[in-house]
Structure 1
Amino acid sequence: LDHRVYTNGYLFTEKENAKKLHMDNIRNYKEIDKADYLNIKAGKDIVLSTGEMVSNSELTIPPTKPLSFAFCSDTSYKPEIVPIIKNADILYHEATFLADREDLAKKTKHSTTKQAASIAKHANVNQLILGHYSGRYKDLNLFKKEAQEIFKNTELAEPGKTFTIL
């Protein structure tokens, strides 16, 4: 990130989820028992006493994608962060100014609504949450409206408001 004073951004990602046993399919093979479950979860195929190999993909359900949250506050427009936050479920990005004040955003090392939305779009995130608004604005809905011109799934951070990562 780039600001007048030292600042950090964060990417929080859940630990990889384990494969789940596909019990309906496992029950089709009487020879497979609980002692085999750890090997199956570890990705191993099972060879039956008949010599038949049962593919791991038949015995497991793929894990769900780990959820992720990217936090980028107090920063000027930095397209270089896109590969780092690629495919995050939620991106919180500062939008101190509306787009017509890009000059002031650049001067003070902050971002505009459209710059934040552009980062979200290019990073292919699921949802953008805007925050860190300049006190000069009274109608924060202008921030949401402007960002949604570029990135539809945009919300405003407000005191007490919560978001669910899906």
Structure 2
Amino acid sequence: MPLEAAAPRQIGAFRLLGVLGSGGMGRVCLGAVPGKFAAVKRVLPVLAEDTDFLSHLGHELDNLARLPAGAHTKRMGIGTPAYMAPEQAVVDGQLTGAADVFAPGSLALYAANGVGDGSGPDLLYRVVHGEPDFGQLTDADPELTALLRRCFAKDPADRPPPQVSSSEPRSAPPGPSGPPLSANA
């Protein structure tokens, strides 16, 4: 989704390109620095002033930093529910690179359909036990649908390896109507 007119165009070093989603804590934007993209969380002002929230967020960020560094710690459920792999949502599974295939699959399905589908515990339950709604994508792009079905496998071992899912050449599938995100937004 495009940024609102009053929204900041930059947070820290990241130029904001659009909104990926929103929830009870704020919005997640697509941010860019030269050569890299990242999800940038904009928390609600009331939370930005809440010391308990900031302490909890600091702990989550510390844990997140340890996970990419390869530390083996007791995991917390960290992530945006719509993009969490089932093994992240239940918190007791071993987290591997297969979770990194699930999240971009969720983002691609969201981009192709143009709408999300709920939030909170309801969504986490569907991530773990349900199947995604591919909407019109099944007819519009059967090849992409087949790849996404593999990305959404409940068993991480059944998902394609990250290098396969990210390197397969693709043409852009039909997206939602409306103006594209502008790099100058």
- Common fold, TM-score beyond 0.5? no
Q: Output the TM-score relative to the length of structure 2.
A: 0.19
Higher RCO, Cα 8 Å, sep 6+? 1
Identify the structure with the greater helix proportion. 2
